[in-house]
Structure 1
Amino acid sequence: KGDIIFEEGDALNGVYCVRSGICKLTKLSANGKDQIVKLVVKGELLGQRSLISDENANLKATALNDMELCFIPKAEIIDDLKKNPNFSFDVLKSMAKDLKDADDIIVNMAQKSVRQRLAEVLVSINDSFGTNPDGTLSVILSREDFASIVGTATESAIRVLSQFKKEGLISTVGKQIKIEDLNGLKHMD
């Protein structure tokens, strides 16, 4: 947890395949704050964009929990891309999905309130990663991480999470969050 897989600006000599665990991809903004761009899970690749564009890493990858990765050298990946059209198509589909997700993030940042964005993040984490046996979200994010994902100040994220608690939408167990009213979060106005 907390280990850096690669830094923004690193030259990547291959791609990483996530075998287990979750990592966050972040981009350093002009004001020196990390913006979480994506959470990456089992079965996904890290570094494929930089490899294909032949540029240094545009993002930083940091483990959020214990992770198992496998590294595939650049020459091997390039060879697979050339020889295996199914693999090439899968990589293209993955990159197209990332672009679509980026489009959605841009629209959300411009048109939705912090409450709506934070509610969407909680629903997304619940849907994508599930819950522990006690009902808490299986991914533990810091309040700073929540703020980074929704593009707001940490204080604002903390305030909105507190409002959600008062409204009975969520409860907390230590640093873990339990969704009490999923429907309420899904229909946030």
Structure 2
Amino acid sequence: MSEFFDKGYNPLDILINLWNPLTDASADLIKQNIGTKLLGKNDYIYHIGNTPLYIYFVLKGRVKIFRNSDDGRPKIIRIFREEQFFGYRAYFAHENYSTNCVAMQDALVAMLPVDVISKLIDDNATVMDYFFKELAHGLGMSDDRIVSMSQKHLRGRLAETVLFLSKSFGTDNDGWIHGKITRRDIADLANMSTSNAIRTLTSFREEGFIDTDGKRIRIIQPASLAYVSGKE
């Protein structure tokens, strides 16, 4: 794990502090049961039909959940960045996974057994409240994307996707969206073909809305992108 963490970084602290205050017994329960998994790009974390055994937390890197459409193309449902939980909806619904989950890049995820999560929820109101909010937030995002993807044209969908990536992943000091995202992933998020995504990104760059450097994207005119997202 050394390549993922700065000296003195303790990933357990993130989980324990996330639900602060926790009882000492709950903090010990996390420490005794947490596991970690190192993933390479495109490594699967779970498949459709698997029974949820763990709830996952991104320590480093990014993961995506997706489902193949009728034409066989993968459709990205959500992307999760560092310090976000994923894979919990199916467990709370008492269902098997209805999506696949893979690492978008080299990643490190924490794993907590579902019975440990259930115990934490029973013993700590902060944990229960956290997952209620996460589930509600995820439902709201899904509703918004369903509406926007069905009503907007190509430019509007792609503009919204670029703004979504910037908001979700943040930017560095020079304004570049953190990480490298493939054009195919951007296309899947915007529900369009890769060739259309490339052409539209090129158009946005020529209009001065964004800048690109390989797989990196920087928003130059956020107001213009927001206008395209809302009007096109």
* TM-score calculated relative to the size of structure 1: 0.91
| 3-state DSSP of counterpart to 1:37 | strand
What's the secondary structure of 1:43's corresponding residue? Answer: coil
Matches within 5 A, 1:145-160: 145-160=185-200
| 1:172 match | 212
What displacement does 1:134 show? 4.6
Q: Where does structure 1 lack aligned partners over 5 or more consecutive residues?
A: none
Change in CA separation of 1:135 and 1:85 when aligned onto 2, cut-off 3 Å? closer
Which stretch of structure 1 is more off in the superposition, 129-138 or 142-151?
Answer: 129-138
Matched ranges for 1:25-174 at <5 A: 25-174=65-214
Instruction: Give me the identity figure in percent.
Output: 31
What letter is aligned with 2:111? Answer: F
What is the alpha-carbon distance in structure 1 between the residues aligned to residue 202 and residue 104 of structure 2? 23
> Could you tell me the TM-score, scaled by structure 2's length?
0.75
Q: Are 1:4 and 1:61, in contact at CA under 8 Å, matched by a contact in 2?
A: yes
- Which has the larger displacement, 170-179 or 132-141? 132-141
Question: Tell me, which stretches of 5 or more residues in structure 2 are unaligned?
Answer: 1-40
RMSD over aligned Cα, in angstroms?
1.7
**C-alpha displacement of 1:133:** 4.6
Paired residues, number: 189
User: Radius of gyration: which is bigger?
Assistant: 2
Q: Secondary structure at the match of 1:187?
A: helix
- Measured in 2, the distance between the counterparts of 1:39 and 1:172 equals 21
| 1:145-172 deviation line (CA, Å, top 9, x unaligned) | 1111011122221121121122111222
SS of the aligned residue for 1:126 comes to helix
The code of the aligned residue for 2:110 comes to C
Note the 1:7-22 alignment, pairs <5 A. Answer: 7-22=47-62
Q: Deviations over 1:25-58 (max 9, x none)?
A: 1122222111111111222212111111222111
Q: What corresponds to 1:185 in structure 2?
A: 225
Q: Deviations over 1:101-149 (max 9, x none)?
A: 1110111012212211211111122223222455432132211111110
> Hey, what's the Cα distance between the residues in 2 that align with 1:97 and 1:137?
22
